[in-house]
Structure 1
């Protein structure tokens, strides 16, 4: 089994014809047919049904089940070829963080850093503990978390604090006259875990037996479920500003105690130079955010 055989198989499926597939691959139809036959011989079963007078190609049941494996094979081979490229020709950086930070606060920073440093960024969203695990196994180079964990071989430091707003959708609810957190009903909350400070704030006003209306795992879902009568939620200022920029139907409750979430930077104890470079630029970006009142620098 080799790359050319798998490629010929998938191209035939994609175009629905061996003639079209051979033309697209710039090979003769007999060569393409020979590749597929050898692949079938190695697998021990037919991939295509064969019959006189049939138009196009038709997969056998085993052929259908093999398609997924074939695609994974090509993808893996492509990844290996990328990996073989000399590191001096390519700089890659893998960053993990909460979805709310990646999408609503740091998106422009990532874009500008990539443009100015010719770096190939891989940005992914994970839960806090998963970020530590992925950095510890060298699958991420840098992480941003809202809940620190003790990993002996990793370095964690405070980066910034961001205020959390108590908000509601003014098309469905009216909390403009609220003067105290206890005037809010826990069973009307759209809940998303924003970290330890948020948990402490919650425990100060409601018992453990009090349950929210619903718990979700993304800011987008918080926004959607705020379209319910009397619903309210807590969200970071970056999420509030971003969502209101396009919808302008969220209102925050003023006059209550301030709530914050703290964001921590996680790296290896001896990070790569490119990680140190990004960290310095990120710290400068945080200072600019602080000047605009969007966060509180903790460096």
Structure 2
């Protein structure tokens, strides 16, 4: 087996078409067919069912079973190339939620760039549920999520938890240090679903009244859309600290508080050999970073801004 044959087979699996595979790989259709036949001859069994007149390619039962082996072969090939490229330079693939990347980890990444130049970072932002799948398939080396899912090959560990507050502009409509959600105009809400527990709490106290004025899936977008002084949001303390860097804000506690948001670190039980040292080094740096003293949030005061 060679790289070209395996790559061609996996592309056929994804496209279910010889024609589309040829287009994606910039090959002729006879070349794609030749590679597939060559691979089948080496394996000693058929991978696809050849039906004349059918546009879609159908895999044989053994072809379906071979997908896992082919993906593992490709993964090992990539690891080998990484070893050949540079044995001294480490690479770590990190997967995080958007709010964690933006509001918490940017100073950590800055520190690594300055103090650990031999550690390269590949950083991706995805939803928590997507990160579990990516880690399971070794597309990332370590992940940070806001809820626990049960994958037999993934280890999860609580990293930290944070409180949620009511956040208003420097001209608050409800200027009180402690506020109940019944006092808020839900049609003026800027909404982001911070985690599943928050969504359940929000559905009980706010969504039953009316829908939010604006819903978004990144804090950067929410910040850009926050134009009106009478709008408000409920956000975790890390996000509030991030937003207060650019604008003056007024923060209140909630009489009917939302559940704390818990961040979990997830790792694969069987990490890639090439990423093991990078993960260990990152965890050492992360532990030091999390022990740094956190700034308190002033309640019932106007603060922040450049």
- TM superposition score normalised by structure 1: 0.63
Gaps of 5+ in 1: 1-41, 44-78, 295-299
- Can you list the C-alpha shifts for 1:85-118, whole angstroms capped at 9, x where unaligned? 3452321000010122212211111222343332
**Contact conserved, 2:97 with 2:145, CA < 8 A, in 1?**
yes
Moved more, 194-203 or 87-96: 194-203
SS at structure 1 position matched to 2:174: coil
Alpha-carbon contact 2:165-2:251 (below 8 Å) kept = yes
The CA deviation at 1:235 is: 1.9
Following superposition, the deviation at residue 159 of structure 1 comes to 0.6
- Count of residues paired in the alignment: 215
Deviation at 1:287, TM superposition (A): 2.0
Q: Residues 42-72 of structure 1: CA distance to partner in whole angstroms, max 9, x if unpaired?
A: 99xxxxxxxxxxxxxxxxxxxxxxxxxxxxx
Does the Cα contact within 8 Å between 2:193 and 2:199 map onto a contact in 1? yes
Spell out the pairing of 1:67-106 with structure 2 (5 A cutoff).
83=82, 85-106=84-105
Asked if 2 retains the 8 angstrom alpha-carbon contact of 1:97 and 1:143, the reply is yes
Write the distance in 1 (CA, Å) between the matches of 2:268 and 2:156.
9
Contact 1:155-1:266 within 8 A present in 2 as well: yes
Distance 1:141 1:202, change over 3 A: same
Q: How many angstroms does 1:82 deviate by?
A: 7.0
CA contact (8 A) 1:196 1:261 kept: no
Tell me, what secondary structure is at the counterpart of 1:252? strand
1:282 aligns with 2:286: yes
Structure 1 residues 134 and 218: CA distance shift in structure 2, 3 A: same
Separation of aligned partners in 1, 2:209 and 2:254 = 27
Q: Please say which structure displays the higher CA radius of gyration.
A: 1
Alpha-carbon distance in 2 for matches of 1:273, 1:80: 13
Report the alpha carbon displacement of residue 157 of structure 1 after superposing the two structures with TM.
1.2
Counterparts in 2 of 1:98 and 1:166: CA distance versus 1, 3 Å: same
Aligned to 2:174: 175
Query: 2-side partners of 1:214 and 1:283: how far apart?
Result: 36
1:251 paired residue number? 250
More displaced stretch, 256-265 vs 121-130: 256-265
1:214 and 1:266 map into 2 onto residues whose CA distance is 31
TM-score, scaled to structure 2: 0.62
Contiguous gaps of at least 5 residues in structure 2: 1-26, 29-77, 298-306
Answer with 188-197 or 226-235: which moved more: 226-235
TM-aligned CA deviation for residue 217 of structure 1: 0.9
User: Offset of 1:156 from its aligned partner?
Assistant: 0.8
